[in-house]
Amino acid sequence: MDNLSNLMRVLFIFLLFLSSFLVHSRVSFIPDPPNLNAENYLLIDHRTQRILAEKGADERIEPASITKLMTGYVVADQINKGFIGLEDDVLVSENCWKKVGSRMFIEAGKKVSVEDLLKGMVIQSGNDATCQLAEHIAGSEEGFIDLMQSYVQDLELKDTNFINSSGWPDNNHYSTARDLAKLSSRLISDYPDHYDLYKEKWFIFNGIKQRNRNSLLWQDDSIDGIKTGHTESAGYCLVSSAEREQTRLIALTFKSDNERTRITDNRRLLDYGFRYYKTRKILTSGQIVISESVWGGEEEYLGLSVKDDIFLTQNPRDFDKINVVTHLDDYLQAPVLEGDRVGDVILELDGETLYRGDLVAGSTVLSKGIINRVWSSLQLFIYSFLMEDEEKKD
């Protein structure tokens, strides 16, 4: 009996050690994304563009009023370039006044500022406001569509074709969750002042108060956009974004059954992402990663750094396990100028490469006089020859 007890005790200790070893030596377990009602969805980190969950992200979908993100991007860019201004008074055309669907309720023959039209498009999802912005920028809706398509090309939206500015249903009007995620991310990065509009909950125009259709804005203060969409053929769509503790996620859901499931689908994606992932800065621009010797230089060693800040999106438990590895393209030989690429910096987790980028000179190292330089070159030649010989022996 004592022998059996001792055996059980040893087995228990062994299993405890084994489980501890597995926990500390492997990447943390992350469960599969939640089951959603939406037919297509995508969840990405805005800064690193890491995909955290997806289904049918490259299938063509009808974007409905999500199209207005592109119209908003074009308007913001035109304002930034000085072609139009927020204070511009725009005469409302009969064509735009007649637009059906969701409306801002502008009136033909009256003037409305670009700023109010933008709010009407973003907050109220007004097709009339969208039409009027398009006409103001390009002279006609048709001209604006050509302009939109040029932005599609510039943003490298590879499977997107817009033939109207508001998202009105048409078989030739389509995009994908992946393309719309890229567009949403660029909108947030390129025009943050414009993006501030997408978190506004209400807008009053012409005595009519309308609420933002994105109900998530009332559920969580970290959620600050972006846009809803709905037609009978497209179903219920939503692109949302939230930022918590310097991690910003973008969730896109398409073809949900109704408004309630649209909100539930999107919220579940965001909650999943924030629960299991965080985005952190791993290396800072200019941070010295390693020092290496320099042949023929006035300085014996040179600190090597990264050019840009490097961020990763991971399970929080895995950040301490990330290894920084460096590889030189060749031996360092003066002169070396600050910022020169000299090799690669690699971030690894459990043998998997998470990031590979340029390793650069952190400062300038000038070469010695010509005699010392020739002597150093000869030394380097002999050294490299001996090293190659040693490698062949190995």
Q: Which domains, ranges and CATH numbers included, belong to the chain?
A: 40-276 (3.40.710.10), 282-393 (2.60.410.10)
H or E stretch including 280? Answer: strand 278-283
Question: For residue 335, is the peptide bond before it cis, meaning its omega torsion is within 30 degrees of 0?
Answer: yes
Banded pLDDT at 29 (limits 50, 70, 90): confident
What is the mean pLDDT of the segment spanning 80-89? 97
Mean pLDDT, residues 215-220: 95
Q: To which residue do tokens 């055309």 refer?
A: 93
What span, in angstroms and rounded, lies between the C-alpha atoms of 265 and 41? 9
SS3 231: strand
Residues present in the chain in total: 394
Q: For residue 233, name the pLDDT band (cuts at 50, 70, 90).
A: very high
How far apart, in whole angstroms, are the C-alpha atoms of residue 219 and residue 196?
18
Residue 149 has pLDDT above 90, yes or no: yes
pTM (2 decimals)? 0.86
Pick from 127, 128, 126: nearest CA to 107: 128
The confidence band for 249, taking pLDDT boundaries of 50, 70 and 90, is very high
Residues 264, 216: Cα–Cα separation, whole Å = 9
| Beta-sheet pairing, 51-55 with 40-45 | antiparallel
Would you name the residues annotated as active-site residues? 65, 68, 125
74 pLDDT tier (thresholds 50, 70, 90): very high
Confidence of residue 388 (pLDDT cuts 50, 70, 90): low
Residues 6+ apart with CB under 8 A from 106: 92, 96, 97, 112, 117, 120, 126, 128, 129, 132, 205, 206
pLDDT of residue 376 exceeding 90: no
Closest by CA position to 147, among listed 155, 138, 158, 159: 138
The yes-or-no verdict on residue 371 having pLDDT over 90 is no
* Region 242-262 average pLDDT: 97
Among the residue ranges 118-127, 236-245, 367-376, the one predicted with the least confidence is 367-376
